[in-house]
């Protein structure tokens, strides 16, 4: 079932030290409530906003990285509504002239490339936050409000409804997150740093807005649910009305929001405290010239510089900037066979991380650890299977792999003489299997398997096979006799 999906993403500019219109610290996470506040972000009478220049520069960089057109002047407007987290009763945002218009992001789903167009990007302030003593508005006897977030710089990125399936929306968000991380403007893994609303419609129905979606994988889930819900409503002869719904991640359904069936009138008006300021073309060009390496270029570079395949390079870069950084750190320490290193990170280490949470990888696992595993492989100290086994311990306990190998008794038996004795033992204990193997080449596997079992997987499989075959040859020629 094809759908039309558009996204509206709120991104905090978490790299800024201060808020958008005052000097309060923007690093509010974990701070006691209402400690990062001042008359400006509390909306006290007479307090005047002053625009954070860095925030404007960051917004311009995002616009350019998304191939958009930067406005020639900075215009702020007031959007009026009443809610306790908004002390001024209006939000300073952009309406008639967003800082960025147009642009696009290239995505790729199942090998098919596609452009998702950007409609606009607004620079605006974040409201405060309601805090419920029980964690839920439904069961709390009262609510509290924390204005630490009030006034934090926010980008509202609005796409055209160019996506046709949930996977495309997920691919878009993944790419966007990677671009923002490479620009260094948003640490999107922080709670609430990237918030997504989606609008979705299927043919014959009206547009439904789904709010409150937490992570990228939740977006995919919420959209999939919503598309099936709308399609089956229409199939049963019902109609899909225009409404706002909330995603309930616990029950994995969308539920109607306390409905507003009309377009709200926000009475937008220019903010008289913030008259329009020209954005000089020279500033835009300066920022363009200083744009860092972006994800698409980085994928190309990883492929050409390290000779790794494009699929793996994409996983490294689009999963998180820090993951690609991690890979390059390891390769710098141990440059041999980057493809094997990339595979190990993507297939083995990532597999032990849960729920898209990559933090353990950067906090517990050090690039030196992975470099050491690669070196031990090359030195024949451990087998590939043992390297895979080490991955779990490295991710879960952050231990040094050299210590782990000792502790887990993992040293591979690459010593030919020692292994030959084990093979002889196996031959003596399994004369019937040896006779089978002399007739059927397939039965050789059984003997190899017995050697592996006797050495608890520490024997080198290729060496084992060679020794088994040599010894079969010796039996065949009568140089070795069986009991
Ligand atoms: Zn303030």
Tens digit of each residue's pLDDT (9 = 90 or more) over 163-189:
999 999 999 999 999 999 999 999 988
Report yes or no on 481 lying in a domain.
no
How far apart are the CA of 125 and the centre of ligand 1, in A?
11
How far apart are the CA of 87 and the centre of ligand 1, in A?
12
Query: Are 172 and 107 spatial neighbours (Cβ–Cβ below 8 Å)?
Result: yes
The pLDDT of residue 344: 94
How far apart are the CA of 191 and the centre of ligand 1, in A?
21
Residue the block writes with tokens 């140089």: 479
Report yes or no on 114 lying in a domain.
yes
Report yes or no on 289 lying in a domain.
no
How far apart are the CA of 109 and the centre of ligand 1, in A?
43
Clarify whether residues 72 and 169 are in a common domain.
yes
Report yes or no on 482 lying in a domain.
no
How far apart are the CA of 412 and the centre of ligand 1, in A?
61
Report yes or no on 161 lying in a domain.
yes
What is the per-residue pLDDT across 54-75, written as a single tens digit (0 to 9) for each?
Answer: 999 999 999 999 999 999 999 9
How far apart are the CA of 153 and the centre of ligand 1, in A?
12
How far apart are the CA of 415 and the centre of ligand 1, in A?
69
Clarify whether residues 9 and 96 are in a common domain.
yes
How far apart are the CA of 65 and the centre of ligand 1, in A?
29
What is the per-residue pLDDT across 402-411, written as a single tens digit (0 to 9) for each?
Answer: 888 777 776 6
How far apart are the CA of 31 and the centre of ligand 1, in A?
14
Domain extent, residue 345, equals 295-407
Q: How many CA atoms lie within 13 A of 24 on its CB side?
A: 25
Taking only the tens of pLDDT, the chain with its 483 residues reads: 789 999 999 999 999 999 999 999 999 999 999 999 999 999 999 999 999 999 999 999 999 999 999 999 999 999 999 899 999 999 999 999 999 999 999 999 998 999 999 999 999 999 999 999 888 888 889 999 999 999 999 999 999 999 999 999 999 999 999 999 999 999 988 888 999 999 999 998 899 999 878 777 789 999 999 999 999 999 999 999 888 999 988 889 998 886 555 567 899 999 999 999 999 999 999 999 999 999 999 999 999 999 999 999 999 999 889 899 999 999 999 999 999 999 999 999 888 876 556 777 777 888 999 999 999 888 777 878 888 888 888 888 877 888 887 777 766 655 677 788 889 889 988 888 898 888 888 888 899 999 888 887 777 788 888 889 988 988 888 887 776
Clarify whether residues 422 and 380 are in a common domain.
no
Clarify whether residues 270 and 349 are in a common domain.
no
Clarify whether residues 162 and 107 are in a common domain.
yes
The pLDDT of residue 156: 98
The pLDDT of residue 78: 97
Clarify whether residues 270 and 344 are in a common domain.
no
Total domains in the chain come to: 3
Domain boundary among 383, 407, 431: 407
How far apart are the CA of 342 and the centre of ligand 1, in A?
45
The pLDDT of residue 356: 58
Clarify whether residues 380 and 309 are in a common domain.
yes
How far apart are the CA of 149 and the centre of ligand 1, in A?
9
Clarify whether residues 255 and 382 are in a common domain.
no
How far apart are the CA of 49 and the centre of ligand 1, in A?
9
How far apart are the CA of 50 and the centre of ligand 1, in A?
11
Sheet holding 90-93, edge to edge: 90-93, 77-80, 269-270
Clarify whether residues 114 and 26 are in a common domain.
yes
DSSP string, 276-338: -EE--HHHHHHHHHT----HHHHHHHHHHHH---HHHHHHHHHH-HHHHHHHHHHHHH--S-H
How far apart are the CA of 147 and the centre of ligand 1, in A?
9
Domain boundary among 256, 283, 310: 283
The pLDDT of residue 412: 60
The pLDDT of residue 220: 93
Query: Are 28 and 36 spatial neighbours (Cβ–Cβ below 8 Å)?
Result: yes
Clarify whether residues 46 and 11 are in a common domain.
yes
Vertex 52 angle, CA 47 and 55, to 5°: 140
How far apart are the CA of 23 and the centre of ligand 1, in A?
6
Report yes or no on 445 lying in a domain.
yes
How far apart are the CA of 169 and the centre of ligand 1, in A?
35
Clarify whether residues 220 and 312 are in a common domain.
no
Domain boundary among 255, 283, 311: 283
How far apart are the CA of 46 and the centre of ligand 1, in A?
13
Closest CA to 35 of 150, 134, 142: 150
Query: Are 243 and 233 spatial neighbours (Cβ–Cβ below 8 Å)?
Result: no
How far apart are the CA of 439 and the centre of ligand 1, in A?
84
How far apart are the CA of 43 and the centre of ligand 1, in A?
9
Assign residue 457 the CATH number of its domain. 1.10.10.410
Residue 31 has φ and ψ, to the nearest 5°, of -80, 150
How far apart are the CA of 18 and the centre of ligand 1, in A?
8
Report yes or no on 483 lying in a domain.
no
How far apart are the CA of 381 and the centre of ligand 1, in A?
59
How far apart are the CA of 183 and the centre of ligand 1, in A?
26
How far apart CA 237 and CA 235 sit, in angstroms, is 5
Q: What distance lies between CA 192 and its chain's CA centroid? A: 14
How far apart are the CA of 22 and the centre of ligand 1, in A?
5
Report yes or no on 288 lying in a domain.
no
Clarify whether residues 260 and 329 are in a common domain.
no
């Amino acid at each position: 079932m094809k759908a039309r999906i558009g996204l509206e993403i709120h991104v905090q500019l978490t790299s800024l030290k201060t808020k958008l219109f005052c000097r309060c610290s923007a690093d509010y996470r974990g701070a006691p409530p209402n400690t990062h506040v001042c008359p400006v972000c509390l909306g006290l009478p007479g307090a005047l906003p002053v625009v954070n220049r860095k925030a404007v520069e960051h917004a311009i960089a995002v616009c350019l990285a998304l191939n958009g057109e930067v406005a020639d002047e900075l215009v702020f407007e007031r959007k009026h509504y009443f809610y306790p987290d908004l002390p001024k009763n209006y939000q300073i945002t952009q309406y008639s002239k967003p800082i960025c218009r147009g642009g696009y992001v290239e995505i790729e789903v199942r090998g098919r490339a596609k452009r998702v167009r950007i409609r606009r990007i607004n620079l605006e302030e974040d409201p405060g936050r309601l805090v419920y003593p029980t964690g839920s508005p439904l069961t709390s006897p009262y609510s509290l409000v924390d204005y630490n977030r009030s006034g934090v710089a926010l980008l509202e990125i609005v796409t055209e409804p160019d996506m046709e399936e949930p996977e495309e929306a997920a691919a878009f968000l993944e790419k966007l997150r990677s671009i923002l991380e490479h620009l260094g403007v948003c640490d999107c893994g922080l709670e609430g740093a990237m918030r997504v609303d989606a609008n979705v419609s299927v043919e014959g129905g009206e547009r439904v807005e789904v709010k409150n979606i937490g992570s990228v994988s939740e977006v995919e889930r919420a959209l999939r649910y919503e598309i099936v819900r709308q399609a089956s409503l229409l199939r049963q002869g019902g109609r899909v009305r225009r409404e706002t719904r909330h995603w309930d991640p616990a029950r994995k359904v969308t539920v109607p929001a306390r409905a507003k069936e009309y377009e709200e009138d926000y009475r937008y008006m220019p903010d008289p405290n913030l008259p329009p300021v020209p954005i000089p073309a020279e500033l835009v060009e300066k920022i363009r010239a200083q744009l860092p390496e972006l994800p698409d270029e980085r994928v190309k570079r990883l492929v050409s510089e390290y000779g790794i395949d494009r699929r793996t390079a994409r996983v490294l870069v689009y999963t998180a900037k820090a993951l690609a950084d991690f890979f390059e750190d390891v390769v710098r320490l141990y440059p041999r066979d980057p493809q094997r290193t990339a595979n190990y990170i993507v297939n083995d280490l990532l597999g032990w991380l849960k729920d898209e949470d990559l933090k353990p990888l950067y906090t517990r696992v050090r690039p030196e650890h992975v470099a050491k595993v690669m070196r031990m492989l090359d030195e024949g100290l451990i087998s590939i299977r043992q390297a895979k086994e080490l991955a779990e311990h490295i991710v879960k306990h952050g231990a040094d792999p050299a210590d782990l190998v000792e502790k887990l008794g993992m040293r591979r038996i690459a010593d030919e003489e020692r292994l030959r004795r084990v093979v002889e033992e196996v031959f003596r204990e399994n004369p019937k299997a040896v006779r089978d193997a002399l007739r059927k080449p397939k039965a050789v596997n059984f003997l190899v398997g017995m050697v592996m079992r006797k050495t608890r997987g520490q024997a080198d499989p290729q060496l084992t096979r060679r020794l088994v075959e040599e010894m079969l040859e010796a039996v065949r020629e009568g140089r070795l006799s069986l009991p």
